[in-house]
Amino acid sequence: SDGISMANILYALTKSASLLDANGTAKFALEKLRDRYITPQRRSNIGVEFLDIYAKSPDDNPEILPTCYKCGSTNPLIRASDAKLSADTAGMNDQCISCNHLFVRCFINFDVLPLIEFTPTKDIPHSKALELILKTQHDREFAFGLDTAANENDEDGLSTELFDACVLRSLNDKNLLDEDTNHKPVEVDFNSLRSLPRQDIFVIQAQRQMSMNAQASPSGVLAKESGEETECRFFKNVLPEIGIALCPNCHKFFHESDFEFEVLRTGGCPFCKFSDFDHHSY
């Protein structure tokens, strides 16, 4: 693009990858730099970087490689499509090389977040899916025969088991249609939707978002006020011990602790600077 130097981008990638022991990525960036104009002041620095990196292991540090939370595959930092750096691959999605699951990243440090996108089966309207997710704890206990608080762990286990079964079906379907590289959300059936713990669910609907936690009363109002069937995007946090926040304005995801720190420090979302959190839940 005009005003953006690809040589500067590649040089920055080389430096960052070298610091993280991502030697394979650093070598990739250096190779691409050969085809770019380099200022005389920077040529000597690149020569030193070249010798230093080629003296190291040719592989990236496995500890920094992103893992897909849907299929468990380890992904490279640079994919084959990224390596082309051409106009025909510029719009490709940030997704798993194995199952095509879209990575959802924290928009502060760009870590991959443990979120899996799902959608109700075709026979379930999105409004009905919202209603099922928003059921009270008493409704869930009655539906699954869990009439005491002591059975809470059993309910959580059942929810995980049902959702995992939906994920497995999705992965099996992907294997049958291996040539398809498009992302498809996991299809979740009626019983699985009914079992989902709402505190682990995030919903983006018609330029508005909902975090299905117990304090998010506006989300229930939103579901009831919507008179038309509106397409939603549903996400499940598959590692609930990792807190996640969703900005109600820009719909970017963040690590919850990082998001809260930035809101306290700057007074608004670190991405869009939205600050009216009194009337929204994140």
Tell me the C-alpha distance between 205 and 228, whole Å.
Answer: 12
pLDDT value for 179: 63
Tell me the C-alpha distance between 108 and 117, whole Å.
Answer: 20
C-alpha 169: how far from chain center: 20
Say which residue the tokens 């002591």 belong to: 150
Which residues make Cβ contacts (< 8 Å) with residue 141, sequence separation at least 6? 147, 148, 151, 155
pLDDT value for 82: 58
Contact 116, 186 (CB under 8 A): yes
Among residues 231, 247, 251, 139, the alpha carbon closest in space to that of 193 is found at: 139
57, 82, 87 from 54: Cα distances, Å: 8, 21, 29
Neighbours of 210 (CB within 10 A): 28
54, 68, 118, 247 from 65: Cα distances, Å: 20, 10, 24, 26
Contact 120, 129 (CB under 8 A): yes
Helix axes 23-33, 40-54, angle to 10 degrees: 140
| Spans of the chain below 50 pLDDT | 1, 85-91, 137-138, 146, 148-150, 214-227
pLDDT value for 220: 32
Tell me the C-alpha distance between 8 and 93, whole Å.
Answer: 23
pLDDT value for 227: 44
Tell me the C-alpha distance between 134 and 196, whole Å.
Answer: 9
Pairing of strands 186-188, 253-255: unpaired
pTM for the whole structure: 0.78
Count Cα atoms within 13 angstroms, Cβ side, for 131. Answer: 10
